[in-house]
Amino acid sequence: MNKFKCTVKAIVTETYEIEEVFEIDAPDEIQAGEDAISAAENTPLETWLKHPEAHYKYRISDHDLDFEIEDLEEY
């Protein structure tokens, strides 16, 4: 039987629920909601990562774990 050295990379993804209040001027609720989503999408990632609720001790709602083979060699 052959022996192989396999390097496996674990990819851990944490999902945080972060709430932020945006003050939006709009003619109705539908437009206000759409504009709030646009404002959130245009907020730099750094801002979200610095948010207190993004800290690992707070409100982690989900973990996802994937694996990939980085290297495989027969020896």
Task: Give residue 58's pLDDT.
Answer: 58
Q: How far, CA to CA in Å, does 57 sit from each of 28, 48, 53, 60, 61?
A: 37, 15, 8, 7, 11
Q: Rounded to an integer, what distance in angstroms lies between the CA atom of residue 59 and that of residue 55? A: 8
pLDDT digits (tens, 9 = 90+) for 3-61: 999 999 999 887 777 888 999 999 999 999 999 999 999 999 888 888 877 766 655 56
Q: Do the Cβ atoms of 72 and 10 come closer than 8 Å?
A: no
Lookup: tokens for 34:
């759409």
How many other C-beta atoms are found inside a 10 Å radius of the C-beta of residue 28? 7
Name the residue with tokens 């774990």.
65
pTM of the model: 0.60
